C-alpha cells in the first residue's frame, strides 16, 4: 500500500484504523473495494484544537463485522466519501450542521436539522449556549433566523 495505516484495538475490542488525512480518501476507496459496503455512522469529535472524525464501516459478507477508521483534521476540512457510500450524504450534512466540518466534494453541503442561517455550530465546545436564536417564517415560507425574538415570542 502506498500509505501507512496504524492498526489498534478499541476499548470494546473492535478493530480501529488510524490514517493520515492526506491518504484518507485512498484508504476509504480501498476499503470499499475490499467489501465494506455499509457505512454505519460518521462522528466528529471536537477536541478544541483539532477535530477527530470517526467512521464505522461494516462488511455485509462477514456478518456485518465492525471496522472503525479514525482521522484527525486541524482545519475542519476533510474529503467527502459521499461518492463511495450514498449514506455519507446525510451523515456528512449532519456533521457539517452540528460541528462545522467542511466535506470537500460533497454534492449538496447545507444544514439538515437546523434552518439555514443559524449562527454557530451547536456541538462545538466553544458554542455560546447563552444566546437564544429565534426561527420565524417569511412570506415565501422560508426560515428566517435572528437573535431578536420579534413578534409572537
- Binding-site ranges for another protein (CB under 8 A): 10-12, 14, 37-41, 43, 45-46, 54, 56, 60, 63-66, 68, 85-87, 89-91, 94, 98, 112-115, 122-123, 127
Report in angstroms how near the CB of residue 102 gets to another protein at its nearest.
18
| CB nearer another protein, residue 21 or residue 38 | 38
Report in angstroms how near the CB of residue 42 gets to another protein at its nearest.
9
| CB nearer another protein, residue 47 or residue 153 | 47
| CB nearer another protein, residue 2 or residue 140 | 140
Report in angstroms how near the CB of residue 2 gets to another protein at its nearest.
26
Please tell me the distance from the alpha carbon of residue 135 to that of residue 113, in angstroms, as a whole number: 13
Q: Angle at Cα 89 formed by Cα 64 and Cα 28, nearest 5°? A: 55
Asked whether 38 and 59 are in contact (CB, 8 A), the reply is yes
Report in angstroms how near the CB of residue 97 gets to another protein at its nearest.
9
| CB nearer another protein, residue 66 or residue 72 | 66
Radius of gyration for the alpha carbons in the chain, expressed in angstroms and rounded: 18
Please tell me the distance from the alpha carbon of residue 39 to that of residue 91, in angstroms, as a whole number: 10
Name 11's Cβ contacts closer than 8 Å, sequence gap at least 6.
none
Asked whether 21 and 73 are in contact (CB, 8 A), the reply is yes
| CB nearer another protein, residue 100 or residue 115 | 115
Alpha helices in the chain, H assignment, sequence order: 24-33, 88-99
Report in angstroms how near the CB of residue 8 gets to another protein at its nearest.
12
Amino acid at each position: 500500500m502506498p500509505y501507512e495505516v496504524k492498526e489498534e484495538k478499541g476499548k470494546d475490542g473492535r478493530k480501529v484504523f488510524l490514517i493520515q488525512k492526506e491518504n484518507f480518501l485512498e484508504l476509504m476507496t480501498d476499503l470499499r473495494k475490499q467489501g465494506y459496503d455499509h457505512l454505519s455512522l460518521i462522528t466528529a469529535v471536537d477536541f478544541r484544537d483539532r477535530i477527530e472524525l470517526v467512521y464505522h464501516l461494516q462488511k455485509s459478507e462477514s456478518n456485518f463485522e465492525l471496522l472503525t477508521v479514525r482521522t484527525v483534521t486541524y482545519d475542519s476540512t476533510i474529503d467527502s466519501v459521499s461518492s463511495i457510500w450514498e449514506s455519507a450524504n446525510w451523515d456528512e450534512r449532519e456533521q457539517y450542521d452540528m460541528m462545522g466540518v467542511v466535506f470537500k466534494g460533497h454534492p449538496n453541503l447545507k444544514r439538515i436539522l437546523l434552518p439555514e442561517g443559524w449562527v454557530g455550530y451547536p456541538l462545538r465546545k466553544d458554542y455560546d449556549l447563552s444566546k437564544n436564536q429565534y426561527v420565524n417564517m417569511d412570506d415565501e415560507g422560508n426560515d428566517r433566523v435572528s437573535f431578536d425574538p420579534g413578534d409572537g415570542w
